Amino acid sequence: MAGKSFKTMKTLQPHNKKRKRQEGKNDEKTKDAHVLKSLSALEDDHDDEAEGFDNESPRVVAIESMLKDPNDSDSALSEDSDTEDEIELSYSDGDDIERSTSQESKLLSSFDLHFQHDLSKTEIDNQRNCKFKWEEPAVGMSNCKWTGTGRNILKDLDMNSLHGLKPKLYEHWMDVYNTSGQEDINSPKQKIFFSLCSSYRDILHCNKRPFYLKGLEDISIMDTYIMHSLNHVFRTRDLVKKNDAKVAKNRENADGNIRDQGFTRPKVLILLPLASIVFRVVRRLIQLTPSAFKVNVAHLDRFSAKFGSQDHEGNEVTVENGQESGNAKPQKSSKPSDFEELLGGNNEDDFMIGIKFTKKTMKLYSDFHTSDIIVASPLCLVNKIEEAESNKEKDVDYLSSIEVLIIDHADVIAMQNWSHVNTIVEHLNRLPSKQPGTDVMRIRPWYLDNYARFYRQTIILGFYSNPEINGTFNHKCSNYKGKVKLICEYKGVLHKVLPQARQIFERFNVDSIVDADDARFDYFVKKVFPRIKDSDQGGIMLFISSYFDFIRIRNFLKSQDAFFCLLGEYTTQSDISRARLWFYEGKRKIMLYTERSHFYHRYKIRGVQDIIIYSLPERKEFYPEIVNMLDGSNNMTCTVLFSCLDKLLLERIVGTTPAKRMVSAEKGVFVFCD
């Protein structure tokens, strides 16, 4: 879908493209002289105390790439290259140029303060060594607290205003909430999160209550990052239009010091796991966009047909008291309700859509290079990156100027493939491979210096975190403003387990994270498998969270001539049906079952007599579901393997306080039973 849009949008170039090609040779010398003059001006502007400005510097490489013939690239789309009937949005709050100019010196928004800052190499070096050093209670979440690097921005937070939000956006946000009967957006919890977003710090919020669990979703977090995205886009566009007017008014006396653009137009990238979630987010984005900018929502029917599903048709979604609910009639299913809510609709995971704002139109399916916001799945975007690497005619230069990256439902993406997210983050804010068509004199210096990644804000949201998510946040997010993350204490889910089930947690020793997988495998081979081998009892389920561990255990059982069957994420449906039958009838003693297979299918396995959890599930709700499969067995025993490195997973299951004791106590065996 997205790929087709990219190809067809190439025809939507300005009408004078042919004339420009004919005049290109005549203007070539003039253009080169202009760019060389720009290079000289930028060189004079460069800080001599920073990295040396030589012929190999990123700034020179970026500028030299703009000396290429624009006809060599089909993607040479200017940030303002719109057709005449798509005039760009003007000052959305009705501010005229003179008033805006006179006020800008009085109060700079957080947007201006962040992107106008001249970053030094010393600040970059200091940022790499920043530690989380302050903590503040999280309002509205009694078991959580915010912790961050740098200055404590929550200590003296002004709770009487949403600083930085454009007035027209604020007014419309209030109108939407009042019309739908939601809680006031001025609630402390809402204000704090918006303040964090508008501070342009990196944020890790992994206690976001998802819509698919029992109880209604608190949509305040989604609303906040949508409003932050809109605010960023509109402030960016208003700044460019204001400076366009300045240049037009003083063309002869222009000093060349106006720097307000990146290489390409897209500024916000939102990564989502499923098409059904895109449907929710974009629909809410449309609702929260002021009416003046969505007189017409182009291609809305196409979007609904692609990302909606039969479950959405005819079912209006309402918002009451800050929570979302639907009027759809409940359908009976053997699957848990959260499974039906999350995967029962459109679970397509290969999609990408551009969103562009013009004067009165919100255009869906805009060309990626000229979009303001891009919404994509990690899978689709990684495919685009791989295509660009193998085919030089294609590019992903629309990722070069992303200033706000939002990753929502990170826990669901982790069930798909989190490595895709790392690949995308590594390709953000690179120098473009083709001429972007932007006026080099208007590009912000830190783009040319290849410092854009230090200005990019990354917001990661999810129901929980894991070592992979934490690793991305800690090592691949380099915002010079610093980081803020939410730390929570958990009560655990043991109360949801059948009271007669006997749960034995066995801790194995591990010296380092590098040796963790081998230490777990050795403990299983030497301590656990002999008990399985010597037992005449069948019905042993071996639950494994990692696919690589699944393969390793499978190969080991083969080498031991064990009678076992498989339920993995890549097992065919016919093999799954056969394995479940064999296991139930006792023809196979052991069943290997992966967490991803349970995530996508939520099977209820019959014939389970004993459970061995080789590695703890990432999703805490899966633990009682797996253990409760013992219902009706003669043994009612579950053995769980863990190490001191599993504290993050362990505390969500047994609770934060017991987990701390279990990873540090002298004894290594812990029993939970009624």
pLDDT tens digits for 348-362?
999 999 999 998 999
Q: Are residues 375 and 444 in the same domain?
A: yes
The Cα–Cα gap between 109 and 652 comes to: 39
Q: Are residues 642 and 504 in the same domain?
A: yes
- Mapping DSSP onto H, E and C, the string for 620-641 reads CCHHHHHHHHHCCCCCCEEEEE
Q: Are residues 399 and 507 in the same domain?
A: no
* pLDDT at 249 (0 to 100): 83
Q: For residue 46, is pLDDT > 60?
A: no
Q: Are residues 416 and 517 in the same domain?
A: no
Query: Which among 428, 452, 482 is the end of a domain?
Result: 482
Q: Are residues 349 and 475 in the same domain?
A: yes
Q: Which residue has the higher pLDDT, 477 or 84?
A: 477
What is the dihedral sign for C-alpha 268, 269, 274, 275? positive
pLDDT tens digits for 463-496?
999 999 999 999 999 999 999 999 999 999 999 9
Alpha helices in 76-208 (DSSP H): 97-104, 110-115, 121-128, 167-180, 188-198
* pLDDT at 32 (0 to 100): 46
- Is residue 153 in a domain? no
- Is residue 144 in a domain? no
* pLDDT at 321 (0 to 100): 43
Q: For residue 160, is pLDDT > 70?
A: no
Q: Are residues 437 and 362 in the same domain?
A: yes
Compute the mean pLDDT over every residue in the chain, rounded to the nearest whole number: 83
pLDDT tens digits for 629-655?
999 888 899 999 999 999 999 999 999
- Is residue 620 in a domain? yes
* pLDDT at 335 (0 to 100): 87
The Cα–Cα gap between 477 and 24 comes to: 41
Non-local (6+) Cβ contacts of 550 within 8 A are 544, 568, 592, 594
pLDDT tens digits for 162-189?
778 898 999 999 899 888 776 666 678 8
HSE of 249, CA atoms in CB hemisphere, 13 A: 8
Domain holding 599, by residue range, is 494-672
* pLDDT at 127 (0 to 100): 78
pLDDT tens digits for 520-563?
999 999 999 999 998 888 999 999 999 999 999 999 999 999 99
The Cα–Cα gap between 253 and 274 comes to: 52
- When pLDDT is averaged across residues 413-442 and rounded to a whole number, the result is 92
Q: Are residues 426 and 293 in the same domain?
A: yes
pLDDT tens digits for 502-512?
999 999 999 99
pLDDT tens digits for 86-142?
444 443 343 433 344 444 434 678 899 999 999 988 888 887 778 899 999 998 888
- When pLDDT is averaged across residues 282-310 and rounded to a whole number, the result is 91
- Is residue 421 in a domain? yes
> What strand order describes the sheet that includes 217-218?
217-218, 323-326, 317-320
Angle between helices 97-104 and 220-249 (to 10 degrees): 110
Q: Which helix (H) or strand (E) holds 270?
A: strand 268-271
* pLDDT at 25 (0 to 100): 44
Q: How many domains does the chain have?
A: 2
Query: Which among 435, 455, 482 is the end of a domain?
Result: 482
Q: Are residues 521 and 432 in the same domain?
A: no
Query: Which among 455, 482, 509 is the end of a domain?
Result: 482
The Cα–Cα gap between 87 and 72 comes to: 27
- Is residue 178 in a domain? no
Q: Which residue has the higher pLDDT, 330 or 145?
A: 145
| Band of pLDDT at residue 81, cut at 50, 70 and 90 | very low
- CATH number, domain containing residue 345: 3.40.50.300
Q: Are residues 430 and 500 in the same domain?
A: no
Q: For residue 221, is pLDDT > 50?
A: yes
The Cα–Cα gap between 246 and 160 comes to: 34
* pLDDT at 124 (0 to 100): 85
Q: For residue 446, is pLDDT > 60?
A: yes
pLDDT tens digits for 188-209?
888 899 999 999 999 999 999 8
| Paired tokens of 34 | 């202009």
